[in-house]
Amino acid sequence: MKFRGNIGAALLLVLAAGLAYVVFLRAGAPPLTSEAAVTPPVSAAELPSSSPSPPLTPSPSLTLSPTLSPAPTPTPSPTPELPAVDLTAWNLALVNSDHPLDKDFSPDVITVENSQKYDARAADALKTFIAAARDKGFSVYLSSGYRTYATQEYLFNRKVSQMEANGLQGDAAITAAARIVAYPGASEHQLGLAADITDKYYEIMDVSLADTPLLQWMKAHCAEYGFILRYPEGKQDITGVMFEPWHFRYVGTDAAAYIMEHGLCLEEFWALYEE
Ligand SMILES: [Zn+2]
């Protein structure tokens, strides 16, 4: 009996230990199920979402898109963009003392008027520009168009002689002359795309011409015909040429509109594409 009693006690202990173990497992179970419980809702949400979400998602996106689309539309319009032009194109050629033309460079030119020649590709634009000014009642005189290298050389040497007569010597005379008459090869007139336009009654070309109604109109409207004021006021340090209110240069309407609107010289326009 005592032996049986011992067995019974041992069985009770085993049962008690088993119960305790089960209790322990159940106590430890919750953290496991709680983690496992996270997964089922996700998979459960994914599964039912296929059926209820299609009718829900398209309806708000359809109602939102018409109200959202007008908003992004104004954004591109106020962004001023550089015109997509090719700087290597004939009409955008940059000619100055740093970018001189070859002595033998000679474009295909035709006579416009007053024995003045102009690049054949832009001659019509120049004629239209001048005709528009005449239609406004202005007297227009095309004083200079295309010039050969030899002509520019003659004009330059004559200006150097004048400077020497005024007391300047050597390099000083050459530097002073170059601010008024472009160095041979550095003149846009050799390019065939420069036009000096004045009132026919003016003989002296100086900055006072800028105040004449003709040149004020020409400056205001040149871009419409593809022209720019090539040597604007205040740009002498960049162009190397003094303010010339009479000197217009053909570049094409796209470039001209941007240049005149932003008050640039051609050197500054070029620099925008080199950035
Ligand atoms: Zn000129």
pLDDT of residue 23: 40
Please give the distance, rounded to the nearest whole angstrom, from the Cα atom of residue 260 to the centre of ligand 1: 18
pLDDT of residue 217: 98
Question: Three-state DSSP class for 51?
Answer: coil
pLDDT of residue 61: 40
Helix axes 123-135, 213-221, angle to 10 degrees: 130
Q: Which amino acid is at 199?
A: D
CA distance 28 to 38: 17
Active-site annotation holds for 244: yes
Q: In 107-148, which ranges are continuous DSSP H helix?
A: 123-135
Catalytic residue among 81, 113, 244, 275: 244
Please give the distance, rounded to the nearest whole angstrom, from the Cα atom of residue 249 to the centre of ligand 1: 9
Residues 6+ apart with CB under 8 A from 126: 112, 118, 142, 145, 195, 225, 227, 250
Please give the distance, rounded to the nearest whole angstrom, from the Cα atom of residue 39 to the centre of ligand 1: 82
pLDDT of residue 202: 62
Please give the distance, rounded to the nearest whole angstrom, from the Cα atom of residue 246 to the centre of ligand 1: 7
Could you tell me what percentage of the chain is helix, strand and coil, using 3-state DSSP and rounding each to the nearest 5? Answer: 55, 10, 35
Please give the distance, rounded to the nearest whole angstrom, from the Cα atom of residue 47 to the centre of ligand 1: 79
Residues 6+ apart with CB under 8 A from 210: 216, 219, 233, 243, 245
DSSP for 218-241 reads: HHHHGGGGTEEESS-TT-HHHHSS
CATH of domain 90-147+187-274: 3.30.1380.10
Please give the distance, rounded to the nearest whole angstrom, from the Cα atom of residue 195 to the centre of ligand 1: 6
Please give the distance, rounded to the nearest whole angstrom, from the Cα atom of residue 181 to the centre of ligand 1: 9
pLDDT of residue 104: 96
What tens-digit pLDDT sequence spans the chain (275 residues)?
A: 444 445 444 444 444 444 444 444 344 444 333 333 333 333 333 333 344 444 444 444 444 444 444 444 444 444 457 899 999 999 999 999 999 999 999 999 999 999 999 999 999 999 999 999 999 999 999 999 999 999 999 999 999 999 999 999 999 999 899 888 889 999 999 999 999 999 876 667 889 899 999 999 999 999 999 999 999 999 999 998 899 999 999 999 999 999 999 999 999 999 999 87
Please give the distance, rounded to the nearest whole angstrom, from the Cα atom of residue 232 to the centre of ligand 1: 12
Please give the distance, rounded to the nearest whole angstrom, from the Cα atom of residue 152 to the centre of ligand 1: 11
CA distance 115 to 128: 17
Phi and psi for 205 in degrees, rounded to 5? -100, 105
